[in-house]
Amino acid sequence: MSLQTLIEHSRRYGSDASFVLLGGGNTSCKEQGVMYVKASGHALGTIGKSGFVRMDLAKMEGIWCKQYSQDDDTREDEVLKDMMACRLEGETARPSVEALLHALLPFDYVVHLHPAMVNGVTCAKEGKSAVERLFPEALWIELVKPGFILANIVRERMAVHTKQTGAVCSLIFLQNHGIFVGGATLEEIASQYESVMGRIESVLVRKPDFTPVASDQAKVEAVKHVLGRYTSERILFAMNKEYERCLKDEASFVDVSSSFTPDHIVYAGFKPLWVGENEDVAKAFEAFETQNGGRAKIVCVQNLGVFSLGEKPMPLFLDSVAISVYAQSFGGPLFMDEPMIDFIRNWEVEKYRSKVSST
């Protein structure tokens, strides 16, 4: 095992927008009872040695022997405290919330990513049946609360799978989240990812077309001026063929109007703001903040284009649009449900990740 090799592969995946965006995704490796796992808030694309936390696997296994509170906030606080206690002496970073899941997978290497093409399946109405058809060797995990609950369900499902098949599952699809792949080598994992992407691509009915489309620049600048009153961050603008389709009318906008995964909430807000062609942008923006307890990070103006308050929301909205297009091949888009969206919005772990990634 080589941490440097893991770093190199992590950077390769993290620098490829087709696999992961910004601070999403995480990787790990295990050796002689120690697991190196990505620290929360670090981006794979630029990660170095300090971006990994050394964890004692024996201590982490002990977590499964404990009883935790049924209250969400209390439980996650309790688990976090125990997770921090599993770090090796001298470690100060906070391990990824998915460290427990990495630890229970019996592979030397684990790579968890959020490819838009894969999430076109995991965020689709017929995602489960598609995975069962295309990847009979894989596990499908329905939408559940992340952290301890998710890890525990995967642990239970893997035990059943191994008992029934005699094999350890190395491929796990998580509804409205992404994919976990485990292997003895990083080359083996890369081969699995290539196979996954190839199988999905072979059944797609359509791929996204992000060819740029011209917009009325006077109107664009006018909207930028209005939005500039509400932020000191740079305001980005984009219009392409997929955005053009989405912004035709409110009915067309429905397929990108909410959150597909936790990363979309963390970096682009839990939903974009729709502004009708003849609506007042300032009034719509202020009404959104009043109604939702927070400002919109993405503003979509009918038949004009998409505005991003800051640089990070735009690539996540582009990702949402790509997912919605891919999902058309699997029964259509499926957002996270409202209780899960509310949980993620208020979850301390994701607030921490967002804070760290913004510094």
pLDDT at position 355 over 60: no
Summarised one tens digit per residue, pLDDT across range 92-125 is 999 998 999 999 999 999 999 999 999 999 999 9
Q: How far apart are CA 92 and CA 95, in angstroms?
A: 9
Q: Which residue has the higher pLDDT, 85 or 22?
A: 85
Nearest Cα to Cα of residue 274 among 238, 301, 305: 301
- For the whole model, what pTM was predicted? 0.93
| 231 phi, psi to nearest 5 deg | -155, 150
Q: What is the pLDDT of residue 359?
A: 43
Rounded percentage of the chain residues whose pLDDT exceeds 70: 96
CA angle 315, 318, 321 (to 5 degrees): 155
Q: Answer yes or no: are the C-beta atoms of 122 and 176 closer than 8 Å.
A: yes
Q: What is the pLDDT of residue 1?
A: 59
pLDDT at position 60 over 80: yes
Instruction: Please report the sign of the dihedral spanned by the C-alpha atoms of residue 15, residue 16, residue 21, residue 27.
Output: negative
pLDDT at position 19 over 80: yes
pLDDT at position 199 over 90: yes
Rounded percentage of the chain residues whose pLDDT exceeds 90: 87
Q: How far apart are CA 347 and CA 349, in angstroms?
A: 5
Question: Average pLDDT in the 287-299 region?
Answer: 95
Summarised one tens digit per residue, pLDDT across range 239-280 is 999 999 999 999 999 999 999 999 999 999 999 999 999 999
Q: Which residue has the higher pLDDT, 201 or 353?
A: 201
Q: What is the pLDDT of residue 23?
A: 85
Q: What is the pLDDT of residue 342?
A: 92
Angle between helices 186-201 and 3-14 (to 10 degrees): 20
Radius of gyration of the chain from its Cα atoms, rounded to whole angstroms:
21
Average pLDDT for the chain: 93
Output the six-digit token pair for 71: 């209250």
Alpha-carbon distance values, 186 to 174, 179, 180, 234 (Å) = 21, 15, 13, 38
Question: Which domains, from first to last, does the chain contain?
Answer: 3-201 (3.40.225.10), 217-357 (3.40.225.10)
